[in-house]
Structure 1
Amino acid sequence: MSDIKLYDTRAFTATFMPSDELNAILKGDIGKFFAVRVEDMYRHVHRAVPASRSTIHSCLFITEGEASIKIGSELFTIHQHEMLIVPAGQVFSFEENEVNKGYLCGFHTDFLLEKFGNSVVKDFDFLRVWGNPMIKPDPDSARFIEQVMHRLLFDYSRSGLRNPELLQAYLLALLCEINRVYRPVSVGNPTSSVAITNRFRELLFSMIRTKHLVSDYASLLNITPNHLNKTVKAMTGKSPTKWIDETILLEAKVLLCQTSLSVSEIAFEVGFGDSSYFTRLFKKYEGRTPTEFRRMIEKS
């Protein structure tokens, strides 16, 4: 992850966090953990949230209605008693004015590591960039998940992070409940193909600013470009080239939305010395130039 700049979650979270949570932001707690009701959050969302990236993992559980979030380049919609997980560092966006209820909690990896050690988060594939972000629990598991999220909200609303041990214990319980019903996208596919595809997506996530060629990633994986092409296309329905282009676009969108860098500076940040080529690539997928995209976001 060293090649990707992660933006502090406080500035983003402050745009929709209820006023009674702002004290936590000022104290610095929000960078470690927060919990809020979804319906309270939406009262403070006055515009769509454009392509963003946070340093925290986010867990959204819906109790009424539905919710849609774009995670990476894919749009996911969940309904009552379903969840979406947005891993730390992953690009996401969502629209305003959705009508739903539920719970949202976010936590930094360090919040668990300081209590349970370095290996705890590695057990949860849904916190990895290649994991399946959509969780569809059975009725009993959904009830347990809702109970744990309610308890997290209750304790956080009452005490903030003054008693982190209790929050850490309930958060670990939540992740274990999610893990029990988690289903990877690649069920039934050959283990080697799954491993290659997951590793490709992980490398792409961390190296997109410096490596734009399929051959770059094939070399890192010690396979031929042809093998990587066939494997990734079979597993995801998209070629490695398409994955690379979409990831570049996501990086650019985050920089356009979360920084004041010029288009030429952003082109350089995502690995293009030629800003005109970057602009053509952006318009090919987005239908507008980077400058037009930024103006659209500023007006929304």
Structure 2
Amino acid sequence: MKKLPKHRASDISDTGIHLRVFSADGIQHTPVDYAHQDDYYMFGFIESGECDIHIDFNSYRLTAHCAALVLPGQVHSFVQATGLNAYILMIDSAFIEENSKRPFEQYTLGTQTVELSPEQQTELTSLFTILAGKLAQTSKHPQTLALHLSLAIIDIIGEAITSKQTAHSLPQRYVEHTITFRNLLKQHVEHSHSPSYYARMMNISLMYLNEAVKGTTGFSVSQNIQYEIVTRAKRSLIYTSKSVKEIAQELGFEDYAYFTRLFSKTAGISPTDFRKNHK
């Protein structure tokens, strides 16, 4: 049976930290151009040039002086690049403190790119350059320094994300509730599609949860649930050979016809036609 490739942190490095450097003069690393998932975080910094990537069926153009992030579990692939000079830091999620992860969960509520200030750009260029040198060394001490450098890079990108959110004056409690809801949704969507189920788990009213989620994402709780269901279904339709009925059952639908209607309404195309279009 066809399966979606999954990359593990242990596959890329014994230390859980790996850096890829892309140069317009001669790319030092070949981009991964097939769709796959990772169990680690990816932090990108575009010094110059641009590139196109796909993340969970959405296309994004990354341009100079911006940062980008791919969370563990997101399906992504590299499409193309023009004059690209960039760094991509891959790091095991175990190295990142839970508090530090929160801005990155918040990041997925908006666009997939983060504009950087000139100061942040300069800091990242310096840190990535030093990190590349440390990772090229084999002794244990430079590897310890590499972790500290990696965490400094992550903090700068997190700071940029937080600044962007603050500029939009979004109530922090809305963001917190939305992040909690989305994390619960990822864990439980196969077991419950009911908005009230998630409100009860969070000990808040459904009305307030809807207010927070819609204020943050622009979509209601129900719409977010439907989007998560359809995104998972799309992954299975493209990257596995499971039948539509099997996919529906895995996503918690006893009524196969209802799943098909929901998918068609949300995606604008039937599951069968979606699979045909992506062969």
Query: TM bucket by the smaller chain?
Result: 0.7 to 0.9
Extract unaligned runs of 5+ from structure 2. none
The code of the aligned residue for 2:245 comes to: S
Residue 125 of structure 1 corresponds to 102
Query: Does residue 213 of structure 1 match 2:225?
Result: no
For 1:42 and 1:296, how far apart are their aligned partners in 2? 31
Equivalent residue for 1:190, pick from 167, 171, 174: 171
Structure 1 residue 102: deviation in Å?
A: 0.6
| CA pair 275-149 structure 1, distance change in 2 beyond 3 A | farther
Residue 131 of structure 2 corresponds to 152
Structure 1 residue 86: deviation in Å?
A: 1.6
Structure 1 residue 109: deviation in Å?
A: 1.5
Question: Conserved in 2, the CA contact under 8 Å of 1:103 and 1:150?
Answer: no
For 2:274 and 2:101, how far apart are their aligned partners in 1? 35
Extract unaligned runs of 5+ from structure 1. 1-5, 14-23, 114-119
| CA pair 281-31 structure 1, distance change in 2 beyond 3 A | farther
Residue 176 of structure 1 corresponds to 155
Residue 117 of structure 1 corresponds to none
- TM-score, length of structure 2 as denominator length: 0.79
For 2:120 and 2:215, how far apart are their aligned partners in 1? 32
- TM-score, length of structure 1 as denominator length: 0.75
Counterpart of 1:246 in 2: which secondary structure? helix
For 1:297 and 1:41, how far apart are their aligned partners in 2? 31
CA RMSD of superposed structures (Å):
3.3
For 1:211 and 1:202, how far apart are their aligned partners in 2? 14
The one-character-per-residue Cα deviations of 1:20-53 (angstroms, maximum 9, x if unpaired) are: xxxx94xx627923211245388555x5x44x43
Residue 118 of structure 2 corresponds to 139
Counterpart of 2:125 in 1: which secondary structure? helix
Question: Conserved in 1, the CA contact under 8 Å of 2:54 and 2:78?
Answer: no
The farther-off stretch of 121-130 and 164-173 is 121-130
The code of the aligned residue for 1:126 comes to: P
Greater strand share, structure number = 2
Residue 67 of structure 2 corresponds to 83
Equivalent residue for 1:98, pick from 73, 77, 81: 81
The farther-off stretch of 230-239 and 182-191 is 182-191
For 1:276 and 1:41, how far apart are their aligned partners in 2? 49
Counterpart of 1:96 in 2: which secondary structure? strand
| CA pair 44-171 structure 1, distance change in 2 beyond 3 A | closer
For 2:139 and 2:63, how far apart are their aligned partners in 1? 29
